[in-house]
Structure 1
Amino acid sequence: MLRMKRKQCSSPFGGPVRAPRLAAAALALACGVGGSLAPATGAFARPQPRQGGSPLLDETFTQATAPDFTGVGSACLTGAPQVGAPPGPGDHPLGGCTEGVGPVPPNNAAPHGYLRLTDSSTDQSGAVLYNHALPAGEGLDVTFDQWQYGTTTGNIAPADGISFFLVNGDTQLTHPGAFGGSLGYAQKLPDDDPSAEFQPGVDRGYLGVGLDVLGNYFGDWEHRGNGCPPDQRSPAGTSFRVPAPGANMVTLRGPGDGIDGYCFRTATTSNFSTTGPWPSTLPGQLQGPTTEVSSDPVQAEQDLEPSRRRVHVVITPAPDPQVTVSVDFNDGNGFQQVLRTAAPTPVPPTYKFGFAGSTGLFTDTHLIRNVVVRSERPLPRLNLVKQVRQPLPGDLTVGSQVPYDFVVTNSGGTTIGDLAVDDPKTGPVSCPVTSLAPGETVTCTATYTVTAADAAHGSIDNTATATGTSDGETVTSPPSSQSVPIERVPGIEVEKQVETPGPYSVGQTVTYRYTVRNTGGAELTDIAVHDDHVRDITCESTTLAPAEETGDSTTCTGTYTVTAADGTAGSVTNTATATGTANGETVTSPETYQTIPVGQPHLTLRKQVVSGGPFQVGSTVRYAYTVTNTGATQLHDVHVADDRVATVTCDDTTLAPGAGTTCHGSYQITQADIDVCLEGGTRGGGDGTVECRITNIAQAGATDPQGREIVSEPASATVTVRAEPECPPKPEYGKPDDRGGCDRRGRRGGA
């Protein structure tokens, strides 16, 4: 057996330290992650040597800020200035802590701070969430320090514990799961009370590692594991046990979402039968012995050191992923593997993660530090993972919007600039930055609209690559492809058209044409058209295949004879639908309808003067003619004839039923008009003038579809002209002079 002191191997936190002169092979077999040695055989064998993955995240939580993490509930940073009141429930940026209950580390202590999930008061719950996707394709290697100590409830029992959990990176990690015995990962029906509200687990959970001091996370009381099959239930069952069935236990729970899943997978116990007790096989205590902590930040670190436990979680890459949990109990034995089992499948393309802890009637202080995340195997220099962001809006069909995330990681040793992601199918991809430092990961986004071709194919298949430049050279990621299934929903539509031209009259036979199109992703058989007026409709084809773009289609025809009732109504409206069969079920199109007028063509004319008077000889009179198709058929060659106006022009010469147009013409008043008027004119009020009314008559005409001439009733307009007639000749000598105001020289207005 080869045994060495812990300082003789590499540490991921303190950097390399000097090792004795051992053969390289011996050192590789002896040194584990975290830089300590353990027996190569026995109940707690050492973890396998690391392959040397790529760095993804390093957060100590010792400073006053941790901007990449979101706090929930009582979670806070002791490195930040102290605050007077806790932030309250829900999420918030990580900030300062309250004074705290129990032996908590001092506040305002940067660079000697901690992430404090809870202090040692009752009914506390806190979590931190890392809502940034990290690539999972080459596995995951996570190491962190945790403290659970300082209970204020004596020797009755300590508080619940701490969880480290992973979720699918395609979801928004905005809240943890239920607290208490569910450790912020799984679901919970509080106290198993059927009248209580079910508290859901974390969204799209993948794996929950419970560092469970109290032991309720081990059991399925409060409906943990709701909906899980019998072979994935806790050995402790669903019964309530005091204080808990699995004290000082590391328990793994698997995938879940909402109130379903989060099934028991395994735990550090020597008894998996349904009869307890279930003793833990951990070679040390998760809870630390610290009872007092100095107000001096440096001394506080020394006071807390005996309670530090270093945890190492490794998930190997697919297709046969394994999860390994190792713990350094700070007892000089270094890391000891406590669990190894198959990881849940399928492995998601990316991960997000969080930590959670809580207290209830029992208390402990829960702290986290030194979170280091790496891939288990090295990533390419520029790595890209393409994924669909969840949740999607139901089943994808034509027109659905699909949001994509492109997770890009710089795994090299130099900064990569000019960052861009190319996806020919989605089009432009938006990235929040164009430069990535070594070890940085960024998520770019794009949105794609599902097409008929995608629906017919049954999936969206596309491939993306990321590119950038470093030291003047182009860096390209391996391609990342994804196939997103699309619900092959059957669909059908029908368009209806009248083939027979109007006008339409009683007894006439009208032919209709129907275009039926397959708009879905499944083959349609038994194609038929149903019309509430038309019978015996026949289709050229009764089977339609799903099509790539516009849909496979067929033409159907049928006829209808206009009835006397249609003539009385003045029109006939009929409604049609198309049906087909897909996967044994009938598919029906939306309704389409068509209205045709029934009756004789008709035209009306209204004429009016649109220029202002007074009018006299030489004045131009402008006329407007309103022509309206008041019949039931379309009219062509619309025109107006006027007995005085030589030329009348119309804005439109084709009128649909009910439509109208305006025509225009003008006429100049002549002396001849006045002379004709004076023969029957009316004298004015003693001033020698007469009022002449000049009337002209117009008629509108048009041609119906059969070429017949249609004319309107005549329409007239009148203008009034005040005129001065010529004086009559001077009478012969000795006769009366009755010339109505004409002077002796034959002019009006004289004596």
Structure 2
Amino acid sequence: SDPTTGPETDEDGDGSGDDDDEDNVDIPVEQVYDLELSKAVTSAGPYQQGSTVEYTLTITNDGSLNAAGIEVTDTPQEGLTFVSSDADGVAVTEVSPTVYTIAALAQGETQTIVLTYTIDATFQGTSLNNAAEITEDDGDDVDSDPTTGPETDEDGDGSGDDDDEDNVDIPVEQVYDLELSKAVTSAGPYQQGSTVEYTLTITNDGSLNAAGIEVTDTPQEGLTFVSSDADGVAVTEVSPTVYTIAALAQGETQTIVLTYTIDATFQGTSLNNAAEITEDDGDDVDSDPTTGPETDEDGDGSGDDDDEDNVDIPVEQVYDLELSKAVTSAGPYTQGSTVEYTLTITNDGSLNAAGIEVTDTPQEGLTFVSSDADGVAVTEVSPTVYTIAALAQGETQTIVLTYTIDATFQGTSLNNAAEITEDDGDDVDSDPTTGPETDEDGDGSGDDDDEDNVDIPVE
């Protein structure tokens, strides 16, 4: 050996430079290639349709070996729309909104990528998932494999969620909210026989689409159904009072127009028509289709919740009784003659009448003989007073009174007056408490239609 030479020189001629004045040993150095990815939501909720969501991906080199050629793939659930990305270093390249490359990541270094999404305005779910994974690198990762996904347990811990992949869920607040309003869309005034048009407007005020909606209309007795008309093909008339709407997307409105007539014999002064959503496929935030207006569903202190509505219309009614008197016997008339008078009481109004009293006032010189009425409703209280128990709208009652002219009568004419002196209503153009001296209907004459009188000549 030669201390002046090294192992590159064969000093002892044995063909090897490793002579006995020198020696060397190798030690193995363990190295680890280990990349880790974590994902976190770094924006503040709550989240609903249209909200912005920020996710931060953190890629860390947990190994001892430097890494390069790293590819990260983000996989947002449908319902998330990409807005922007931002990285804290120059080593990141956005290949596409969901794919990013990191040129190099030395041992112990970390790289973050911030991704911003919005939740679609029509998203219908209650949660959204967003996953991310390292899908390519330049090493042999100790506990993960970029070529497999979360369905594969790469590190043998019994879970497919390995440290090169991560996913997060966010809750999405949704509202199921149907509203019904009802309006009278025809022009009054209204009376018996009038046509009334109601428009029901059903609106989806919520964020969730709705289906299987049933609407029930409840007209007061006195309204008779004529027809229905809807502005969309989604409406089915199950019956004149029940309608179904197959589907109503968030923000959409469906109208149903219902036409009724007021019954010809209706006696009230107003009519109510109510409508309600009586079935749907969701859990409405402020109403319940299984309860009616007697229940306060939204806690506002009123039973009139937004899935139900009702409207009143005034109905004009007229109370109007008329009395006419005619001589229905043949003259000429002299002392001792018989005279027949016919009183005709007619209900010219729209309201039924009852408790009618008729008073006959013959001039002195006429002596009562008999009375005859054409209906059982008339009672003779006295020879000059008669009551009619009931007289429906449009009906007529006659009372025939027979008198004789006194044998000693000295005049040349005789008058006989009659008047309605009592009834159960507020007559539009007469007053049973006043006589012919009062102009009740404002026509300039005291002879109003609840009173009449006739003269006969006496020879």
TM-score with structure 2 setting the length: 0.30
TM-score with structure 1 setting the length: 0.21
Higher relative strand content? 2
Larger Rg over CA atoms = 2
